[in-house]
Structure 1
Amino acid sequence: MLNFDEQRFLRIQSGAVALQKHLEAAITSCLTAGAENIFFLGTGGAAILMQPASQLLQRRSRFPAFIDMPAELVITGSAHLTEKSIVVMPSLSGTTKESVALLGKLKEIGAKIITLVGNEETPLGKGGDHVFVNFAEDDTSCESFYLQSLFIALAIMNCRGEIENYEQVIAELSKLPELLLEVKRAYEPKAEAFATILAASDYHIVTGAGNVWPEAFYYGMCILEEMQWIRTRPVHASDFFHGTLELVEKGVSVILFKGEDELRPLAERVQNFVPNYTEKLAVLDTAEFALPGLSPEVRALVSPIVLATVLERISAHLEVMRNHPLTMRRYYKRVAY
């Protein structure tokens, strides 16, 4: 595979899986101590990656789950954010300034802080009540963060008796590192062709629904915009027909992500509409990838993880094709802002 270290990938994703029991213990401790809600408080891309777990709790659990922006909470606070709150703060660097700024306020409030970081020797690595460290880099962090947050959500549901097959689901999720590697290998011959589609336009509408919508948002904002300087319009598939459809015409590129949860029909609605008005529709569908040993329920849960692992292969080809390394920035961490 192009510019890819298989053993490094396995090590990082296996590291995320290895945190499951420890995350479960931390959640059990917090709930036993009387926690009443959970906040997922990441910044930028890390925040987006928390959305599937938050959505899972909002739709399948009665335990209140919130997702908000640290930069805003530092200023406004929240009536729901109390000493009875669990706060999950993901940051690969452990130094994200908006999250670090909120850390002190959280300690004053007395919330229980769970930090997910790539480096312990950082403000967030040292600032949590429960700190989980799994070294990763930009090309491997998505799967790791998705998995860790999913383990947190499932642990809450298990503690509350809201999931009957918890052990089976966790056992299936433990197979993901090797399964994802096989997905990458199988998709590699197609990755360059998809990258060509992305390189061919300087503007893309990127859409999806359900738990893969965050990956559509993330890929548009954090990869195509930040890392490739390609303009995008991420829009949820349920909002596509309330404005964005008017931008679809001949020559306009639409990128559609399809997952396997119950909201798949929203993506299919877009897929049925777009080819009537533009020849540039590209679809990534997780149902096309082999994941032996995973039940339909777990396949649906991991759809954003599968997309992330496939998109990494596409991005590897895209940066070479455009002679634009994914590490190149104009402003991010380069100028004052």
Structure 2
Amino acid sequence: MLDFDIPRFIGIQAGAVALADRLDATIGGLLDSGARNIFFLGAGGAAILMQPAVHLLRTKSTFPVFHENAAELIAGGSRHLGPGSIVVIPSLSGTTKESIETLAYCKERGATVLTLVGHAATPLGEGGDHVFVNFAEDDTSSESFYIQSLAIALSIMARRGESSAFTAFVDEAKRLPEALVAVKQGFEAEAEAFAERIRNEPYHIITAAGSAWPQAFYYGMCILEEMQWIRTRPVHASDFFHGTLELLEPGVSLIVLKGEDEYRPLADRVEAFAGEHTDKLTVFDTASVDLPGIGPEVRALISPVVLATMLERVSTHLAAKRDHPLTTRRYYRRIAY
């Protein structure tokens, strides 16, 4: 595979899975101490990667969960944030300016802060009340953050008697790193072909629903826009028919991401419509991949993990074919803003 280190990838994802038990113990202690709600905060892509866990809690648990824009939280506050609040802040670098400010803001208000970072010797790596470190880099961080945040959500639900999925998730996720490598290997030719097909495409609509939606949003904003300077329009599949459908015509690229949860029919509807109206429809479907030893319930939970691992191969080939490294920036961390 192009520019892919298998042992490094397996080590990073196994590291994320290995944090699950300590995350569970920490959540258990906080719940026993009277925790009353949880906030998933952060900035940019890392914050987006928390959304499947947030959605899981919103729909399957009665434990209050909040997913706020960190900058807006600091500007406007929240009456729900304070003593008894669990705050989760992810940051791969551990140095994200907005996340550092969020950390200080939340601690000043008496919240207990869990930081998920890739590097310990950083402001977020040293400033959290409970710090979880798993080294990763841009091409491996999505899976890692998805796994950690899902472990947090499932731990809350298990300890409240709302779900028994935590144990299965941890047990089956131990098989996930090697399974994801096999997914990448099986997808490599398709990824390269898709990258070749879109290398000069100026614009994409990208859509999904359920747990797959955050990956569509993330891939459009953080990869195609930030790392490749390609204009995109991420739109939730349930909103597609309330405006965006009017942009569809021959020559317009539409990317549909499909997971395996109960929201899959929303993406199916977009796919069926788009097939009649554009010749540039591409569907990435987690149901098409083999994940030995991972059952339907966990497969539905990890759909965004699988999509992230598939799309990483697209990104790698796209960067090579466009001669545009994924690390190239004009503004981000280059100038003051």
Structure 1 counterpart of 2:50: 50
Matched positions, count? 337
Amino acid at match of 1:122: T
Structure 1 counterpart of 2:100: 100
CA RMSD, aligned part only?
0.8
Q: CA deviation at 1:190?
A: 1.4
CA distance in 1, matches of 2:166, 2:153: 11
Kindly report structure 1 stretches of 4+ aligned residues shifted beyond 2 Å: none
| Correspondences of 1:3-14 after superposition (within 5 Å) | 3-14=3-14
User: What are the Cα deviations for residues 98-130 of structure 1, in whole angstroms up to 9, with x where unaligned?
Assistant: 111122221111111000001111111111110
CA distance in 2, matches of 1:89, 1:169: 22
Tell me, what secondary structure is at the counterpart of 2:15? helix
Structure 2 counterpart of 1:333: 333
Residue 66 of structure 2 corresponds to residue 66 of structure 1: yes
Whether the 8 Å contact between 2:151 and 2:166 is mirrored in structure 1 is no
Structure 2 counterpart of 1:308: 308
Tell me, what secondary structure is at the counterpart of 1:241? helix
Unpaired stretches in structure 2, ≥5 consecutive residues? none
User: What are the Cα deviations for residues 117-159 of structure 1, in whole angstroms up to 9, with x where unaligned?
Assistant: 0111111111111000001000000000000000000100111
Residue 32 of structure 2 corresponds to residue 32 of structure 1: yes
CA distance in 2, matches of 1:257, 1:199: 19
Residue 207 of structure 2 corresponds to residue 198 of structure 1: no
Amino acid at match of 1:314: V
Residue 277 of structure 2 corresponds to residue 277 of structure 1: yes
Tell me, what secondary structure is at the counterpart of 1:256? strand
Q: CA deviation at 1:186?
A: 1.0
Unpaired stretches in structure 1, ≥5 consecutive residues? none
Residue 155 of structure 2 corresponds to residue 144 of structure 1: no
Structure 2 counterpart of 1:221: 221
Amino acid at match of 1:234: P
CA distance in 1, matches of 2:268, 2:109: 45
Q: CA deviation at 1:198?
A: 2.8
Q: CA deviation at 1:165?
A: 4.3
Structure 2 counterpart of 1:293: 293
Q: Under a length normalisation based on structure 1, what TM-score does the superposition of the two structures give?
A: 0.99
Amino acid at match of 2:40: F
Residue 17 of structure 2 corresponds to residue 17 of structure 1: yes
Structure 1 counterpart of 2:91: 91
Amino acid at match of 2:211: N
Residue 302 of structure 2 corresponds to residue 319 of structure 1: no
Identity %: 64
Whether the 8 Å contact between 2:90 and 2:115 is mirrored in structure 1 is yes
Q: Under a length normalisation based on structure 2, what TM-score does the superposition of the two structures give?
A: 0.99
Tell me, what secondary structure is at the counterpart of 2:62? coil
Whether the 8 Å contact between 2:42 and 2:102 is mirrored in structure 1 is no
CA distance in 1, matches of 2:198, 2:78: 40
Amino acid at match of 2:288: E
